[in-house]
Chains A and B, each alone.
Chain A
Amino acid sequence: MSGPQHLISVADLGREGIAEVLRVAESFAEVERRSVPKVPTLRGKVVATLFFEESTRTRLSFETAAKRLSADVLSLAVASSSVKKGESLRDTVETVEAMGIDAVIIRHSSSGAPHQVARWVERARVVNAGDGWHEHPTQALLDCFTVRQVLAERKGAAPEELGIGCFEGLRVLIVGDVRHSRVARSEVLAYSALGAQVTLASPGSLLPPSLEGWPVDVAADFDEALGDADVVSLLRLQAERGSGSFVPSLREYTAGWGLTARRVARLRDDAIVTHPGPMVRGVEIASDVADLPRTVVTQQVANGVAVRMAILFLLLGGELPGVAEVPDVA
């Protein structure tokens, strides 16, 4: 068998693995454009989402992806589960697996929780839907997918024709609360694996304590770095993780590091702005800027489904949609 058993980190995929995900995601994006956007690929498989932390888009996106692949989807509502009665993560996971689950999609506030879950399961595949400050691999993959899509559109080419060559030398500027951001850690791994040059722009208190081993530069001057960027990836200031106390005030953060209307003027015309959501308008991004065509937040959300279909397909097997052409209308 080729490829990883689980998707815990972008590093599990490597450059070729990421290319494969993007390629497969394109064929699922095609499925989504059909009148009945559903394929029998994972019929008979059961996918469970275990979200120990709040989420809107990621959970819906994974569940939509699984349903479009005809998998049965179980969703553990932590608030009303045995977790509230003191059941451990390990027992919860083992209970779920005992019901014959094929894949567990987990989000947890503790970094490394999916790592541990992957050690505890016997046969189920584990997909990390975000763990603490550590990683959010499918978000980074869908960001790469979206950037390639935009670049392809501009060239009037199909994304697949661009391969991953379009990332070579691409200048990606990741802005904001890198310290507490799982999206940033996954994006750094994904973009740099694809050959992009990643730069971080952040107040010192929101940078990770050490960047040893990170294939990144740190921008000396944010405003200047904006003028060089092909892609600007904005991060949310994670107030719920206490990030508020890492800057004097939201107002000062916005003044120094927010993508304001004034700063947008520094961007090159073709620069793309991404944001993993949820956006806090008026803090890391001005409302006007959020609504500019160059800001591709809605496309990111839309692409999330295709990318997550690709991940589930690659981990759980089945036939590619080109082979199993007949949509499942059952």
Chain B
Amino acid sequence: MPEPKVALVLRGGSVVGPEGLTRADVAVGGGVVLDVAASIDPPKGATVLDAAGCLVGPGLVDLHTHLRQPGREEAETIETGTRAAALGGYTAVVAMPNTEPPIDSAGVVREILDLAVGCAAEVAVSGAITLGRAGTAMAPMGELAALGVTLFTDDGAGVQDGALMRRALDYAKGLGVTLAQHCEDCCLADGGAMHEGEWSSRLGIPGMPAAAEEAMVARDIALVRLTGAPVHFLHLSTAGSVDLVRRAKAEGLAVTAEAAPHHMLLTHALVAGYDPVFKVNPPLRTDADVAAVVAGLCDGTIDAVATDHAPHAPEAKDVPFDQAPPGMLGLQTALPVAWEVLSPRLGPERVFALMSAQPAVIAKLTATDPRVGGHSAQGGPVEAGAAANLCVFDPAATTVVEPGRLASRSHNTPYAGRTFQGAVRHTLLRGEPTVIDAVAQR
């Protein structure tokens, strides 16, 4: 096999490695990284992308993306969602199964994989744990696992029936897949539309207590202990949840967890103006919860930053707060938000680990995993021979959030008008630029 030719060189950046930054150019060709060296002379005809002052890291991997297709194409499509992902520095996203119809059959998995071909980011599909996400009977997990589905969740709701969850965990063990839980005891949440506390009491909005999340985190930790099957906790948002997971990990239980950027930065006080753009599930919580989530990300309790990118068409959000669906956009703002919150506390290699390598391991999208299937290896490292999935981030630039200019079909970002330090400059998917100078190429 002939050596692939250098097609593209990223010049002037610093490569984000496991131990920190190394000033290096990166040469890419044939979909893989060909060379990482202090100075690379681009051969004639090769594209050169300036990366001066930028971090060159592995393409980001999102464990939690609502692409809305099939069923809610007015809010997002696989095409627009992956374009937003690429602009956010992502090269792979895990599509959540709460589509219409939900991802509980091989047919829907195949449809999504077909639609994702040629899009700006790779799409891994997660399947529902229960048929129709109705919480009453197991979905055909074996059939979906055979198509490469490695994560199962009823996200949008938790599996309320503890016995059913236990059976699903026992069943999943034989398949080598991971169940992921949206932790919310729906009886305790009781139809709440925001975090229950000071602000819900003042605003007269029905609240959901932190205990509604924590009760299910605690139950599922007990089920991991009982079954030995792994559980991934989606979007942890309370100090109590972080503490429960920290203790479960100390005990050696097979648990992993993610947190969303908005739970690292925003609090329930933002609901004061009754703007449904701040309605999300789990809800925005207190300052103490935000601090606990950040602490959990810093001490390794939480393994991944995951966006919970949840587009909603304008008309769906332009209604009274309690009637609006929960959810906010996240893909295009995740890295700037994480950078603002985490980079004062963690080195760039740790920020990228939380957003690329670790989520890639949880979703089994790394090179070493036999299930990689149609996907290229995600999560780095940035070294010769690795798949050229790269995110070039400029810490000196700024990201100004203008809802109307986001690539998503919806505009429900909670950061409208805000400016964050740092911006995604280029994204490479299998060596091809999906974003050049913050402009989408697909």
Q: Which residues of A are interface residues toward B (Cβ below 8 A)?
A: 88-90, 108, 110-113, 115-116, 131-135, 182, 185, 208-214
Q: Are the CB atoms of A108 and B201 closer together than 8 Å? A: no
Which of A112, A134, A185, A209 has most B Cβ within 10 Å? A112
When distances are taken between beta carbons in the complex, the residues of chain A under 8 Å from B417 are none
Q: Are the CB atoms of B197 and A210 closer together than 8 Å? A: yes
Q: How far is the CA of A88 from the CA of B314 in the complex (A)?
A: 12
Q: Are the CB atoms of B201 and A211 closer together than 8 Å? A: yes
Q: Are the CB atoms of B320 and A108 closer together than 8 Å? A: yes
If A133-B204, A182-B204 touch, whether A112 touches B198 (CB-CB below 8 Å) is no
Q: How far is the CA of A132 from the CA of B196 in the complex (A)?
A: 16
If A111-B203, A112-B205 touch, whether A132 touches B322 (CB-CB below 8 Å) is yes
Q: Are the CB atoms of B201 and A90 closer together than 8 Å? A: no
Q: How far is the CA of A150 from the CA of B382 in the complex (A)?
A: 80
When distances are taken between beta carbons in the complex, the residues of chain A under 8 Å from B198 are 210, 212-213
**Smallest beta-carbon distance B209→chain A, Å:** 7
If A88-B315, A111-B322, A116-B274 touch, whether A134 touches B203 (CB-CB below 8 Å) is yes
15 more CB-based (< 8 A) A-B contacts, given A110-B322, A116-B274: A111-B321, A111-B322, A112-B274, A112-B320, A112-B321, A116-B320, A132-B204, A133-B204, A133-B205, A182-B204, A208-B201, A209-B200, A209-B209, A212-B197, A213-B198
Q: How far is the CA of A212 from the CA of B323 in the complex (A)?
A: 26
- The residue of chain B having its C-beta at the shortest distance from the C-beta of A117 within the complex is B320
Q: Are the CB atoms of B204 and A209 closer together than 8 Å? A: no
Contact with A along B141-171 (1 / 0, CB 8 A): 0000000000000000000000000000000
Q: Are the CB atoms of A112 and B201 closer together than 8 Å? A: no
When distances are taken between beta carbons in the complex, the residues of chain B under 8 Å from A135 are 204
Which B184-240 residues have C-beta < 8 A from chain A?
196-198, 200-207, 209
- The residue of chain B having its C-beta at the shortest distance from the C-beta of A189 within the complex is B202
Q: Are the CB atoms of B202 and A213 closer together than 8 Å? A: yes
Q: How far is the CA of A201 from the CA of B166 in the complex (A)?
A: 44
Q: How far is the CA of A210 from the CA of B207 in the complex (A)?
A: 11
Residue tally, chain B, CB below 8 Å to A: 22
Q: Are the CB atoms of B204 and A89 closer together than 8 Å? A: no
For the complex of A and B, the 4 pairs showing the least CB-CB separation, nearest first, are A112-B274, A110-B320, A134-B204, A133-B204
Q: Are the CB atoms of B204 and A185 closer together than 8 Å? A: yes
When distances are taken between beta carbons in the complex, the residues of chain B under 8 Å from A113 are 274, 320
- The residue of chain A having its C-beta at the shortest distance from the C-beta of B271 within the complex is A112
Q: How far is the CA of A135 from the CA of B198 in the complex (A)?
A: 16
Q: Identify 18 residue pairs between A and B in the complex whose beta-carbon atoms are under 8 Å apart, listed by A's number.
A: A88-B318, A88-B319, A108-B320, A110-B322, A111-B203, A111-B321, A112-B321, A113-B320, A115-B274, A134-B203, A134-B204, A182-B204, A208-B202, A209-B201, A210-B196, A212-B197, A212-B198, A213-B202
When distances are taken between beta carbons in the complex, the residues of chain B under 8 Å from A214 are 201-202
Contact with A along B42-80 (1 / 0, CB 8 A): 000000000000000000000000000000000000000
When distances are taken between beta carbons in the complex, the residues of chain B under 8 Å from A111 are 203-205, 274, 320-322
When distances are taken between beta carbons in the complex, the residues of chain B under 8 Å from A112 are 203-205, 274, 320-321
- The residue of chain B having its C-beta at the shortest distance from the C-beta of A180 within the complex is B204
Q: How far is the CA of A210 from the CA of B274 in the complex (A)?
A: 18
Q: How far is the CA of A115 from the CA of B271 in the complex (A)?
A: 12
**Smallest beta-carbon distance A141→chain B, Å:** 18
When distances are taken between beta carbons in the complex, the residues of chain A under 8 Å from B206 are 133
Interface check B252, CB cutoff 8 A: no
Which of B203, B204, B318 has most A Cβ within 10 Å? B204
